[in-house]
Amino acid sequence: MTHWMFTEEHKMFRDAVRKFVEKEIIPFVEEWEEAGAVPRSVFERVGALGYLGTKFPVEYGGVGSDLIMDGIFNEELTKCGSGGIGAAIVAHIGIALTPIWRFGNHEQKLKYLQPGIEGKKIAALGITEPSAGSDVSSIGTKAVDKGDHYLLNGSKTFITNGVNADYVVVAAKTADGPGHRNTSLFIVESNWEGFSVGKKLDKLGWRGSDTGELYFENVKVPKKNLIGRLNEGFKYIMINFQWERLTLALSSIALAEKALEETVRYSKERIQFGGPLAQFQVLRHKMVDMAIDIEKARSITYRAIYRYDKGEDVTTEATMAKAYAAEMVSRVCDQALQIHGGNGYMMEFPVQRYWRDARLQSIGGGTTQIMNEILTKKLQIIEN
């Protein structure tokens, strides 16, 4: 959709990504959904086209463009119709590579960021644990200083790309004391002794991405693999949450648009009572409500992205965008399925996948309830 935020360069990029998705992603959606993972060759292909590196510096193989360009890639990729495929690739660049880019040193960027941008290595972010999800400060994984290395022990769960990742950016406790000053981030290679994948998790939606349980048993992590400063990992995670939540809002909007487009088409083709479904005012009005709901989410999200790209702190705006868009996409996809009627409940029609994929949006990256609790403090409804 035309928007004042986008330049001609942005529009040209969107057209190029859309053509790529139509030609090289959509024909394989069902195959990759069934396999439960995106092939490594796809990461390499997307990397070769430069799409993994839009926001990253040219020095490390990136394009050196803006975050708006990265957001456009997210939107168009999501419109392939598989939340899992979009999640696998966007998690790689959006939440796993980003901490290395923002807080890592030159050597780490050469060794891990650059091959990630090229799609030659797959990355994952390991924060969530069996007993610690939205409450990041309560993670139990620990890294103990042993002089020339850290000894890492613990586990992670619900890790996107966790099964096939070449390395994982892991959050671990490195000190006693307050939760916001005792956590650090480490780059942990998956082939190191003591690193193991417990199992590949079977999910309701996002089935096109691999999601795993990870275990660390006396993993020796070199000191050089500490990202940034010791005990500042919590701050890095919170900073990265702004972009993660904006990408989730964007993917919610794109998925809702996809569902609405197919519902409008279906309503014109499906004949009932001697005419197309679109002849019924109640259904036409449902689709209008869906379109308005999408536009509300887009307005909140685009404004936040524009300001974030300018370097502003958009914690409040990004949280609002995530909270609203994540609930919106479930409403829209539920109505889309309803308008499809019995066909919507059949696996042959992709709207059932949109409905399943949408349900995770209000959980991943912080639940809607956590978003609302953050906002009560940011809006000074209660004291911090």
Residues 246 and 361 both lie in one domain:
yes
Q: Could you give the number of structural domains in the chain?
A: 3
How far apart, in Å, do the first and last CA atoms of the chain sit?
39
What's residue 384's pLDDT?
A: 63
Which residue out of 33, 75, 118, 244 is catalytically annotated? 244
pLDDT in 10s for each residue of the chain, 384 residues: 578 999 999 999 999 999 999 999 999 999 999 999 999 999 999 999 999 999 999 999 999 999 999 999 999 999 999 999 999 999 999 999 999 999 999 999 999 999 999 999 999 999 999 987 777 878 999 999 999 999 999 999 999 999 999 999 999 999 987 767 899 999 999 999 999 999 899 999 999 999 999 999 999 999 999 999 999 999 999 999 999 999 999 999 999 999 999 999 999 999 999 999 999 999 999 999 999 999 999 999 999 999 999 999 999 999 999 999 999 999 999 999 999 999 999 999 999 999 999 999 999 999 999 999 999 999 999 876
Q: Which helix or strand (DSSP H or E) is residue 149 part of?
A: strand 149-160
Answer yes or no: 257 catalytic.
no
Among residues 71, 105, 121, the one where a domain terminates is: 121
Among residues 79, 96, 121, the one where a domain terminates is: 121
Q: Which domain holds residue 17?
A: 8-121
CATH of residue 214: 2.40.110.10
In a domain, 383, yes or no: no
Structure token pair of residue 330: 């479930």
What's residue 1's pLDDT?
A: 55
Q: How many Cα atoms sit within 13 Å of 84 on the Cβ side?
A: 29
Dihedral of alpha carbons 175, 367, 239, 375, sign: negative
Residues 256 and 321 both lie in one domain:
yes
Beta strands 195-200; 211-222: pairing state: antiparallel
As a whole number of angstroms, the distance between CA 275 and CA 271 comes to 5
Residues 108 and 176 both lie in one domain:
no
Structure token pair of residue 299: 């307005």
- pTM, whole model, 2 decimals? 0.94
Residues 339 and 300 both lie in one domain:
yes
Residues 19 and 99 both lie in one domain:
yes
CATH of residue 92: 1.10.540.10
